[in-house]
Amino acid sequence: DVKVTQSSRYLVKRTGEKVFLECVQDMDHENMFWYRQDPGLGLRLIYFSYDVKMKEKGDIPEGYSVSREKKERFSLILESASTNQTSMYLCASSFTGGKRYEQYFGPGTRLTVT
Amino acid sequence: SQKIEQNSEALNIQEGKTATLTCNYTNYSPAYLQWYRQDPGRGPVFLLLIRENEKEKRKERLKVTFDTTLKQSLFHITASQPADSATYLCALVMDSSYKLIFGSGTRLLVRP
């Protein structure tokens, strides 16, 4: 079974702090994704990576950056956390090739910025 | 503007009945459409993918239809069970893109 793990289930940070969210997958997937999920807005793509050290902006990259130094690990960084970044953050991964659209999600990190 | 719409009101049905959830979209031309299940406090889980040239797809008690003329997908769960209670998300996939575009989901409640 594919396993996608995220470093924390719940996180509380203060405004202005630098926040790191870590995601690890164990299925040798090439693609990794970071989403945020807010009530009524669905999942929105922040960034994705299709290879080590490669990244592309999603629909809402402002205020975020990412790092992918190893294939299995994809980090989301909030450079200076703000209250409007309070949300559920979900990491996902997928293969390239025929099954590339089937994404496997982690359990999510509920981040609260106070 | 581009939009994906799923009924924001919860669907409440009796165990054993068929649940039908709707996903409508405007100003997209997806190559594929997917359905995911999400339980509270968990990440979505992939259920089914249907291609634009497929009218219908089945997997056990699940059936998905895809009408590119109406720009609509229907998701059916037959012989529903309380364990089917969850939020169901549809997601569009554009051709040659890794990105998914998600609807906000519909919550299904199956009463025993």
Interface membership of A106 toward B (CB under 8 Å): yes
Partner-chain residue, chosen from B45, B93, B103, that has the shortest CB–CB distance to A42: B103
CA A8 – CA A107 distance, rounded (Å): 9
Closest alpha carbon to A7 in A34, A46, A30:
A34
Partner-chain residue, chosen from A31, A48, A102, that has the shortest CB–CB distance to B46: A102
Report the sign of the C-alpha dihedral through residues B22, B26, B28, B31, in that order. positive
Question: By CB neighbour count within 10 A (0-12 exposed, 13-18 middle, 19+ buried), where does A40 fall?
Answer: exposed
Interface membership of A54 toward B (CB under 8 Å): no
Would you state the structure tokens that stand for residue A42, as one six-digit string? Answer: 């669905």
On the CB side of A11, how many CA atoms lie within 13 Å of its CA? 26
Q: Report the gap between the CA of A5 and the closest CA in chain B (Å).
A: 11
| Sheet containing A73-78, strands listed edge to edge, beginning at the edge strand earlier in sequence | A4-6, A19-25, A73-78, A64-70
Q: Report the gap between the CA of B38 and the closest CA in chain A (Å).
A: 10
Searching chain B, which residue's CA lies closest to the CA of residue A89? B43
- Residues whose CB is less than 8 angstroms from the CB of residue B39 and which lie 6 or more positions away in sequence, other chains included: B86, B87
- Which helix (DSSP H) or strand (DSSP E) does residue B1 occupy? none
Residue-wise pLDDT for A68-101, tens only, equals 999 999 999 999 999 999 999 999 999 887 677 8
pLDDT per residue as tens, chain A (114 positions): 669 999 999 999 999 999 999 999 998 999 999 999 998 888 999 999 999 989 999 999 999 999 999 999 999 999 999 999 999 999 999 988 767 788 999 999 999 999
Q: Report the gap between the CA of B102 and the closest CA in chain A (Å).
A: 6
CA A25 – CA A6 distance, rounded (Å): 9
What b/e sequence results for A74-83 when a residue is b if at least 16 CB atoms lie within 10 Å of its CB, and e otherwise? bbbebeebee
